[in-house]
Homo-oligomer: A and B are copies of this chain.
Amino acid sequence: MAEISTGQDVATFINVFHTEPRNQRRLVDRIIEAHKEVIRHRAGYVSTNLHASKDGYLVIDYTQWRRREDFEAMFRDPAVEPHFRPIGELTRGEQMAYDVVYCHDADG
């Protein structure tokens, strides 16, 4: 279960994938496959939470890593590319590093 907070010592990456309702489930399955095959086994990986928009046009992957460098090292590794190729065949994600700037919950 992911924990989000401004004080947490993790690097946050959010990947926004634009897709279409007929491809959304396939895209989700390919991301989960890449996650199980390679992402979760990388050094520095902390958590992944994958979201499918109810209208079918978006998939958002919310991931946390120990350090930004751990995440970037994954993409520089040639062994990883074949696992991401099936995702790239369906869509290009808008992948970005984020600062968590504000958190609030009803119990806080």
Contacts and interface: CB of A to CB of B under 8 A. Distances in A.
Interface of A: 1-5, 12, 14, 16, 28, 31-32, 35, 40, 45-55, 57-58, 60, 62, 94, 96-106, 108
Contacts of A46: 105-106
Contacts of A47: 103-106
Label chain A's interface by main secondary structure.
strand
Contact of A96 (B53, B98, B99, B106): B53
Contacts of A105: 1-2, 46-48
Contacts of A94: 58
20 contacts: A1-B5, A2-B2, A3-B3, A12-B51, A14-B60, A16-B16, A28-B102, A47-B105, A48-B102, A48-B105, A50-B101, A50-B102, A51-B100, A52-B101, A54-B96, A55-B96, A55-B97, A58-B94, A58-B98, A60-B98
